[in-house]
Structure 1
Amino acid sequence: MSLLFKNSDLRPVLTEAIANHCHVILVKDQGVYWLAEQGERLPDSRQKLIAYAVGCNPDIDAFDDWWALANNELGGDDFGENFDPQMGVLKHILDSQDDLLVTATQTHLTLENVT
């Protein structure tokens, strides 16, 4: 299995990272999501633009559901992994309507565009 990120959610995050000349970060903690390393903040200090994986958004998915999905797909430890938003597979998101699939093994993360 893998985690799916919708183009419509991910595109604004990638655009923000490129505009701010920073990385995007894939995060697993309270859900699984992408955010710009240097992004706009809300008044409560949370990041404004966040792209959650389908089924891993704690604001809309039940805790037991998103927690189980995140742990099954990415393991039990929290992490943040930096990526260049202009790398091929992520840049493709900006130039298409494709979504992004993230698959993990114990040692690797694989990013793949899906139609």
Structure 2
Amino acid sequence: MAALTTQNIVDAGTAPTFVAAAASDTAEIGSGVNTYVHYKNTDSNAKTITITVPGNTSYGEPNPDPALTLPANTGELRIPLRKIYDPGDGTGRATLAVTGTGGVTGVTVAVVRLG
């Protein structure tokens, strides 16, 4: 598991730097409305990005973990990092997993905070 670095976007129009994704990464949530994770996929296989949502529903069942499809070849996905993804362990970091045929081959990621 890798702890991804958050990059701040400034008024001058900074472009984020992408790094190779790991099978499981963590990303800073920020305020819950100003930070997102941006995935790119150049592999010929689509991937699934799953976000761990801690805790239980009011019925005592585990909260569902969103599973989003990252398309193949030139696919991109931007996911807002919401407060509900905070594990409550003091880190303020969401856990994101990449799965699919070929694993993380061709998948890059950047965590971006809006200024």
TM-score, normalised to structure 2, is: 0.29
Higher helix share: 1
**Highest RCO, 1 vs 2 (Cα 8 Å, sep ≥ 6):** 2
Larger radius of gyration: 2
TM-score, normalised to structure 1, is: 0.29
